[in-house]
Amino acid sequence: MGQSNSIPTNLPEIAFHCLRVADSSPTDGLIEPYFDYLIGISSKTKQNSNDLFNLINNEIGYKKEIGLSKIIEENENNLIELKVYNAKSQKIRDVNIIPSRQWAEALLSANDEINTLSNTNNNTNNKPKPSLLGLSLRICNPANALESVYHVLDVLEGSPAEMAGLVPWGDYVLAWSGGPLHSENDFYNLIEAHVDKPLRLFVYNSDLDNLREVILYPTRQWGGEGLIGCGIGYGLLHRIPRPSTPPNEPVDGYFNQDQNRISDSSRQNEVIAS
């Protein structure tokens, strides 16, 4: 599907933040986890265009009768257009996509066979339908995007940070397996809560412009100062810089690289799954 870019003039106060993109789903390679926000949606085959602000109000129990989930379900196997804001590039693009459940059918069939073998009385009537887009979303204000990021500064030799592969000055911690972080103290509290335990982090590298999973093992036994052995910067001077040049490849080729993937095995329960 094709995309076109435009400079944002007025972002809505709330939008759908894309946290996870399932492998092989309709949005795989078209949506960039953690950086993309859904701010609009319209049908290409029906007169069904809606303001996403009203859609979000419906999702949390207010106003409109038609919500995001309902619009997507009504357009299953039909072309829709998502208006997506990217917090990293600070641009808005249109993403044409066809909502479908076919991508999950093979996986569900395999799981059904396993469940049948392990439990002959397994009730299949209450199983949720697979996602039409393969997205896990949360509701938030896109204007506050990328405020709570943690810049990796100096990394000490032999430290847990070095062992985890954190890159000094180029890496930014965006979130952990439990979801985004919201304040400066959240990260330090998270480290304290995982002493001598593995901690899965989602880390963006500004030099390579990619997102990856990192397993950090905070400990006091590594022989140096601190639990992870690296400096962390937070605040206005430590925001993620805009990419110096846009990618030459199309979006679906650019984000569909192994180093930009986030494994579904680390997925948690987000607010909405579409």
Are 172 and 150 within 8 A, CB to CB?
A: yes
Sequential DSSP letters for 210-241:
EEEEEEE---S-SSSSSSS-EEEE-SGGGSPP
Nearest to 85, CA basis, from 73, 96, 93:
93
Give, in degrees to the nearest 5, the angle at Cα 154 between 150 and 158: 110
140 is in an annotated binding site: yes
Longest Cα–Cα distance of the chain, Å, equals 64
Query: Which tokens sit at 171?
Result: 């890496």
DSSP 79-148: -EEEEEEETTTTEEEEEEE---SHHHHHHHHHHHHHHHHH-TT---TTPPPPPSS-EEEEEE-GGGTTSS
Tokens of 73: 């379900």
Q: Which residues contact 62 (CB under 8 A, 6 or more apart)?
A: none
Q: Is 118 exposed, middle or buried (0-12, 13-18, 19+ CB in 10 A)?
A: exposed
* Residue 182 labeled ligand binder: no
Which parts are annotated binding residues? 17, 140
Binding residue positions for Zn(2+): 17, 140
